[in-house]
């Protein structure tokens, strides 16, 4: 999933330097990572509003549209996200499906069962692509929230914008686009470590 912004001028700082903008976005994501670890009480009840709040908390200091659904169909490489008018309904269906899958899990699910849930949730959120920008990062934050819900540490799918881990991640996402979550599930399963 490629980085997408309507125009650099649409940020609240008026930043036109992509590195400076990326730095502000990274700071926002780090703020939410701390919030997930230090301020939320687990297990967390999942909701569409929670997703919007995570996005707003991460990117609201940069973009006035943070936490609001996109109104266009962004260019995401070869992948074509669903029409923007469908985003709200798709997200409510997504949250219902994640809750349904949670309800099917035993009281103490195995690492593989948790990885299966996280792979589904991560891919589906990336596929819906609900926001103008920051979809991949929001999906990673939501994946971490789910991991914490089950007593696991954060899931680090890849460290940098480029590199072998990112290549494996993107290949797993493309495979999941074809209804095969195995590679993404393996990636996540390999990252799941119990919280200390």
What pLDDT shows up at residue 4? 44
Q: Is 173 domain-assigned?
A: yes
Residue 182 near residue 141 (C-beta atoms within 8 A): no
Please give the structure tokens belonging to residue 168.
């494996």
Render pLDDT for 94-120 as a digit per residue (tens, 0 to 9). Answer: 999 999 999 999 999 999 999 999 999
Structural domain of 34: 8-189
Q: Is 196 domain-assigned?
A: no
Q: Is 2 domain-assigned?
A: no
Neighbouring C-alpha atoms within 13 Å toward the C-beta of 34: 8
Q: For the chain, what is the domain count?
A: 1
Residue 63 near residue 133 (C-beta atoms within 8 A): yes
Q: Is 195 domain-assigned?
A: no
Q: Which residues contact 103 (CB under 8 A, 6 or more apart)?
A: none
Residue 142 near residue 51 (C-beta atoms within 8 A): yes
Q: Is 47 domain-assigned?
A: yes
Per-residue pLDDT of the chain (196 residues; tens, 9 = 90+): 344 444 555 778 878 888 888 899 999 999 999 999 999 999 999 999 999 999 999 999 999 999 999 998 776 666 788 999 999 999 999 999 999 999 999 999 999 999 999 999 999 999 999 999 899 999 999 999 999 999 999 998 876 666 788 888 989 999 999 999 999 999 999 999 998 7
CA atoms of 77 and 92, how far apart (whole Å): 26
CATH number at residue 150: 1.10.3290.10
Q: Is 77 domain-assigned?
A: yes
Q: Is 128 domain-assigned?
A: yes
Strand (E) or helix (H) holding 116? helix 111-128
Q: Is 120 domain-assigned?
A: yes
Residue 22 near residue 143 (C-beta atoms within 8 A): no
Residue 73 near residue 81 (C-beta atoms within 8 A): yes
């Amino acid at each position: 999933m490629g980085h997408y912004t309507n125009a650099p001028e649409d940020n609240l700082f008026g930043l036109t330097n992509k590195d400076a903008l990326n730095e502000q976005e990274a700071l926002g994501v780090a703020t939410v990572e701390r919030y997930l670890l230090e301020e939320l009480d687990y297990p967390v009840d999942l909701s569409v509003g929670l997703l919007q709040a995570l996005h707003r908390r991460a990117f609201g200091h940069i973009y006035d549209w943070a936490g609001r659904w996109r109104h266009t169909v962004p260019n995401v490489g070869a992948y074509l996200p669903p029409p923007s008018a469908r985003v709200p309904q798709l997200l409510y269906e997504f949250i219902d499906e994640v809750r349904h899958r949670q309800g099917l899990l035993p009281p103490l699910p195995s690492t593989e069962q948790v990885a299966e849930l996280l792979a589904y949730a991560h891919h589906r959120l990336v596929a819906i692509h609900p926001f103008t920008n920051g979809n991949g990062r929001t999906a990673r934050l939501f994946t971490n929230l789910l991991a914490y819900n089950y007593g696991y540490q954060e899931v680090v799918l890849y460290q940098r914008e480029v590199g072998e881990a990112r290549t494996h991640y993107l290949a797993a996402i493309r495979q999941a686009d074809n209804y095969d979550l195995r590679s993404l599930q393996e990636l996540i399963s390999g990252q799941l470590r119990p919280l200390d």
